[in-house]
Amino acid sequence: MTRHTNGKAPRACDSEGLDINTANDLDFATGTRHRKAEATQIAALALAGHAVHKGRNGHYLVCKYGLTRYCQNFDDLQAFARRLGVPT
């Protein structure tokens, strides 16, 4: 039986080893990751049948059945989603 003490898989070439670095943004709450929260909110609205278009200046247009709603920022988008009963 061969023991490998350097953390690499047997016969591994040019690898970093078996150690995994888990210090990434997935270890932190969603509230501190604005893009994740934004994508989640847009996906929840999409599942409810609403199309969300993000503008260049950080505003949003929410569309359904040919009707649109303008949201000036992400907080307005979340407030509108709550009014619709879409989870935030």
The DSSP code sequence of 43-86 is HHHHHTT-EEEE-TTS-EEEEETTEEEEESSHHHHHHHHHHHT-
In a domain, 14, yes or no: no
In a domain, 54, yes or no: yes
In a domain, 3, yes or no: no
The pLDDT value given to residue 34: 80
**Number of domains within the chain:** 1
What integer is the mean pLDDT of 26-31? 56
Query: Which residue range forms the structural domain that includes residue 65?
Result: 25-84
In a domain, 18, yes or no: no
The pLDDT value given to residue 2: 55
- Confidence check: pLDDT of 74 > 60: yes
In a domain, 61, yes or no: yes
Predicted TM-score of the model (pTM) = 0.62
In a domain, 8, yes or no: no
In a domain, 20, yes or no: no
In a domain, 5, yes or no: no
What integer is the mean pLDDT of 49-64? 95
What integer is the mean pLDDT of 49-58? 94
